[in-house]
Amino acid sequence: MDKLICKNFSEFRANEGQSLPTGNWLLVTQKMIDAFAEATLDFQWVHVDHERIKKESPFKKPIAHGFLSVSLLSKMLMDLIVVDSMTMGVNYGLNKVRFPNPVLVDSKVRLHSSIAKIEEYGKNGLKITWNCSVEIENTEKPACVAEFVSLMFE
């Protein structure tokens, strides 16, 4: 997988407005969905009740929580970028989030992203706004489209 590799924040800033490499495929398993349900206490039947899903769901398979897709953004972005001088990264928030298409269990997803904006943040930090789209393999509409904001510190 290609990565954006920068020595420091000065080098990283030069990438504002640029697209990142496309991420690798990530398999969304029932184990991940169950763990997310445990962590968030969201046991809605469309995620975890296999018998009911077979009878009532139009998808006939469990679907991942939409917020699971959002939660994967940090991991998927950090798989695509290395800033050697960075000591810490922190999630800052989301400006826009949509879930155009559900992620069925055992689907593969990958990230398409760009660096929309880079701003100074305090003495040793940057605030980065990322445009993110989580593609589902063999599916026209993405799982998640989000404007994700994070902080990086040197």
15, pLDDT greater than 90: yes
| Cα Rg of the chain, angstroms | 17
Residue 142: Cβ-neighbour burial (10 angstroms; 0-12, 13-18, 19+): buried
1, pLDDT greater than 80: no
DSSP 142: -
pLDDT per residue as tens digits for the range 37-80: 999 999 999 999 999 999 999 999 999 999 999 999 999 999 99
Provide the residue ranges of all domains of the chain, joining segments of one domain with +: 4-153
Residue 61's alpha-carbon distances to 45, 52, 143, in angstroms, are: 11, 10, 16
* pLDDT band (50, 70, 90) for residue 2: confident
CATH match for 4-153 among 3.30.40.10, 3.80.10.10, 3.10.129.10, 1.10.3720.10: 3.10.129.10
Cα–Cα distance, 63 to 72 (Å, whole number): 15
